[in-house]
Amino acid sequence: MTDMIERSEAADDHVLDHLVVRFAGDSGDGMQLTGDRFTSVSASFGNDLSTFPDFPAEIRAPAGTVNGVSAFQVKIADHDITTPGDEPNVLVAMNPAALKADLHRLQPGGTLIINEDAFGDRDLVKAGYIDEAGEAVNPLDDDSLSTYRVILVPMTSLTRTVCEPLGVKPRDAERSKNFFALGLVSWMYTRPTEPTEAWIEEKFAKNEQVVAANKAAFQAGFNFGETTEAVGHRYEVRPAQLPPGEYTSITGNTALAWGLVAAGQLSKLPLTLGSYPITPASDILHELSKHKHFGIRTVQAEDEIAAVGVALGAAFAGHLGVTTTSGPGVALKSETISLGVAIELPMLIIDIQRGGPSTGLPTKTEASDLNLALHGRHGEAPLPIVASYSPAQCFHAAIEAARIALKYRTPVILLSDGYLANGSEPWNLPDVDSLPDISVPFATEPNHVDNEGNPEFWPYLRDENLARPWAIPGTPGLMHRVGGLEKKDGTGNIDYTPENHERMTHLRAAKVAAVANDIPPIEVEGDTDADVLVLGWGSTWAAIDAAVQRTRRTGVKVAKAHLTHLNPLPSDLGDLLRRYRRVIMPELNSGQLAHHLRGLFLVDIISLSKVQGLPFKSREIEVAIADAVASITTENSSQPSHAATQATTHENGATS
């Protein structure tokens, strides 16, 4: 298979170093479940893996149409990987729409597993396989698939057949055809069957007939691979040699939710989430609602504005206040976030970014909310921004965002995106004792003495971090007011004077800027003498990592760095950028951070942008690196050598 190592030693026939499978079908065909099960079994088998669930943007697109195709791509490997693969080696197409939507993704010469029962004339027309007269054209009957290895399987009819003795109605039996596909792929790529069968029994335990039908379909698919010559031999992807530890496969949203649970424990505070359901952030609300025993309180509010109000009110009451949303929700929450900046309370605003503007592409990934995070509030209202970069790292990003919010008494925006939220990877569970203590003290007694010697509480008397004291309402002697009107520094009394407003504006900005003192130096990986740096943020990390590794293996020198703190930026960033002749910045937007850094550091950053609702392919970044290296080579060759310059100078001197 192309771009795929197949070892052919006598003892290791048909052993692959990696495999990329894409399951595609209608939204109701169970492709997400099928892909998730293949992923879970591969994780338990010991493979490293990375996934890319690809949902249709419409809640219920017409069945059999290209717009209604749901897909799940997973890469498994016997070595460390970071991406779900640029191109699938195997495409499982459950109907013509899936074939039409995803065939272009399949690598040349790749394997096509097709449910041939779904290719009737009506299905073909709905998927757009028509001639000029509007008549159905079947790609299985012409040579349009001749460059692929095609395996035609009557999945629907075979599933009906094995379910008939169980008393399952034909239409109900068809719902199990995804398990037939899973069984076939499990045989082809040597996946153990016991975990899937046990999962079916547990998942569908309330309906014995469904359990029996799904198990029968799964076993039939497995047996079909074993007994049918068309499938050929089996392949194996052996376990990866991962660092020792206890692993679990985790999605970004689950990791982020667990990170919030950990942040509550590490800060010794109850955590309150105010949230309104929105794709792709809702899973965080669902997951946190399971953990009430950790002091987690979840409120599903009536709208986005109420949700952020709950979070800010919880922060005022001494909780770790959190709200989760996506871009449209951040826009609605902006006034309350500004209030949080003004009254200086710790609060987390978690933005799981998606394609915009407006409703945009609700199920597709994008990282285009950076400008909104930086500037999307009225007045001078800066706040820190943290960005996660991998599904597992979402756990640590949540803790870091909470640490900053608590230490500096400020709202903090944590950026993730749909690709990270729904994607999964193995996660080495951290040692709890290694996690930082992020607790901060509450104010418990007066902190100032008035002119008559009476103790009093000043809510804006700042500490060495410029953070104001955090007093729980009802604490004796610490009565104070908060609100959106400008406060006098120190006393917290309302003060409209020009000098005070300017002072408070500068103090709030200085407090956020001081967070840079808490940010470690940027880690640079790759060649120390490279002329090209690939700088990233967010979910571009995986594709950048793969592209830089592959480029370096060809002998080309390149370095990479990744930003997790976007405001304030690391204090050594300017010096780092000036060390390189070319800086490439891949972003899933129109170059928002690149434009920002150009203005700050006057460095001509090469913006590599992508706004297709899809993550970067590593190959796209490799091409940008090659172009940058070629431009440097051209630049070098166009400059006269030192010897030639000296000769020209001597000649000119002699002539004069």
**Positive/negative CA dihedral, 179, 180, 186, 189:** negative
What pLDDT score was predicted for residue 625?
Answer: 98
Q: Determine what percent of the chain is predicted with pLDDT higher than 70.
A: 96
Tokens 């030192």 map to which residue? 642
Helix, strand or coil, per DSSP, at residue 273: strand
pLDDT bracket for residue 8 (50, 70, 90): very low
Q: Report the number of secondary-structure helices (H) and strands (E) in the chain.
A: 21, 25
**pLDDT tens by residue, 321-340:** 999 999 999 999 999 999 99
Rounded CA separation 537/285 (Å): 25
Kindly write down the DSSP assignment for every residue of 494-517, as one continuous string: B---HHHHHHHHHHHHHHHHGGGG
Spatial CB neighbours of 40, under 8 Å, sequence gap ≥ 6: 195, 199, 249
Question: Omega of the bond prior to 62 within 30 degrees of 0, cis?
Answer: no
pLDDT bracket for residue 641 (50, 70, 90): low
User: Above 90 in pLDDT, residue 533?
Assistant: yes
Closest CA to 583 of 561, 600, 566, 553: 561
Tokens representing 354 are 């998606």
Q: What SS3 string covers 404-428?
A: HHHHHCCEEEEEEEHHHHHCEEEEE
pLDDT bracket for residue 208 (50, 70, 90): very high
Spatial CB neighbours of 304, under 8 Å, sequence gap ≥ 6: 276, 278, 325, 328, 329, 332, 333
Average pLDDT of the residues in 98-125: 96
User: Above 50 in pLDDT, residue 184?
Assistant: yes
What pLDDT score was predicted for residue 14?
Answer: 86
Average pLDDT of the residues in 379-399: 97
Average pLDDT along the chain: 94
What pLDDT score was predicted for residue 28?
Answer: 87
Q: Are 550 and 599 in contact (CB under 8 A)?
A: no
User: Above 50 in pLDDT, residue 11?
Assistant: no
Rounded CA separation 92/186 (Å): 12
- Among 4-8, 503-507, 518-522, 533-537, which is the least confidently predicted range? 4-8
State the CB neighbour count (10 A cutoff) for residue 629.
Answer: 19
**pLDDT tens by residue, 502-520:** 999 999 999 999 999 999 9
